[in-house]
Amino acid sequence: SQQGEEDPQALSIQEGENATMNCSYKTSINNLQWYRQNSGRGLVHLILIRSNEREKHSGRLRVTLDTSKKSSSLLITASRAADTASYFCATDAGGYSTLTFGKGTMLLVSP
Amino acid sequence: ETGVTQSPTHLIKTRGQQVTLRCSSQSGHNTVSWYQQALGQGPQFIFQYYREEENGRGNFPPRFSGLQFPNYSSELNVNALELDDSALYLCASSLEIASYNEQFFGPGTRLTVL
């Protein structure tokens, strides 16, 4: 079953604009991670935020986590055509490092 | 590149057959997890192996089984293939089983069951 739900399902923007994707989840978590997937291939880890953190930055990425609302957001600033991909949030709630993924947001960045 | 490889890249099988998918983890990574990703969906956890023992399992039937070897390679075996088994199968390796360890994903094997 899917734990997280990303919103929107699809997002289309122009290069240079910011892209915001949201994730909601159902149960308590140890951490939440964001991944990128290009054209149905392997997943690339973007950023991990622990349950006791509220905000984290990595390059053009900014992630926020609100555990009271069980939600997270991923902001990509100054987007590029190369950012075109599917983005997934994944939650880690167990004692071992298994991840529960949402259905993803498809991001299309047009030149 | 994550340093995790999978073979084959694509595979076509017919219903009822058996299939073995292979994964080579990063050297030193003791944990490997397998995920199934149906078209348009997020990956779903199948099972995890830690030091050659199954360490956890998702909601998949026993016809999905696995092996992990001392040389950081692993296998996913699926018996009695069904049409719904058509999916991208991903393996991910991590250093240890602690939840904060980053998982490194391979490029996946796309399985089509006819």
Each residue's pLDDT tens digit, A94-103? 666 578 899 9
Smallest Cβ distance to A42: which of B2, B40, B102? B2
Is there a contact between A30 and B103 if contact means CB atoms under 8 Å apart?
Answer: no
Is there a contact between B45 and A99 if contact means CB atoms under 8 Å apart?
Answer: yes
Rounded-to-integer distance, Cα A11 and Cα A28, Å: 28
Q: Is the Cβ of B27 closer than 8 Å to some Cβ of chain A?
A: no
* Closest CA relative to residue A108, chosen from A18, A7, A13, A9: A13
Per the omega criterion (within 30 degrees of 0), is the bond before B43 cis? no
% helix / strand / coil in chain A, to the nearest 5? 5, 55, 40
What is the number of other CB atoms lying within 10 angstroms of the CB of residue B49? 25
Residue A2: its pLDDT value, please? 52
Q: Of A5-9, A29-33, B78-82, B91-95, which has the strongest mean pLDDT? A: B78-82
Contact present, A100 and A93 (Cβ < 8 Å): yes
Residue B69: its pLDDT value, please? 94
The conformation of residue A14, written as its DSSP 8-state character, comes to: E
Q: Which residues contact B49 (CB under 8 A, 6 or more apart)?
A: B31, B32, B33, B55, B66, B67, B68, B74
Each residue's pLDDT tens digit, B1-43? 778 999 999 999 999 999 999 999 988 888 999 999 999 899 9
Burial of residue B66, with CB atoms counted within 10 A of its CB: 0-12 exposed, 13-18 middle, 19 or more buried: buried
For residue B90, what is the nearest residue in chain A, using CA coordinates? A42
Q: Which residues contact B2 (CB under 8 A, 6 or more apart)?
A: A42, A44, B26, B104, B105, B106
Residue B99: its pLDDT value, please? 58
Q: Is the Cβ of B66 closer than 8 Å to some Cβ of chain A?
A: no
For residue B41, what is the nearest residue in chain A, using CA coordinates? A103
Mutate which of B93, B99, B112 to test chain A, going by most A C-beta atoms within 10 A? B99
Each residue's pLDDT tens digit, A62-85? 999 999 999 999 999 999 999 999
* Closest CA relative to residue A36, chosen from A101, A94, A97: A101
* Closest CA relative to residue B40, chosen from A89, A75, A16, A106: A106
Q: Is the Cβ of B45 closer than 8 Å to some Cβ of chain A?
A: yes
Residue A39: its pLDDT value, please? 83
Residue A62: its pLDDT value, please? 98
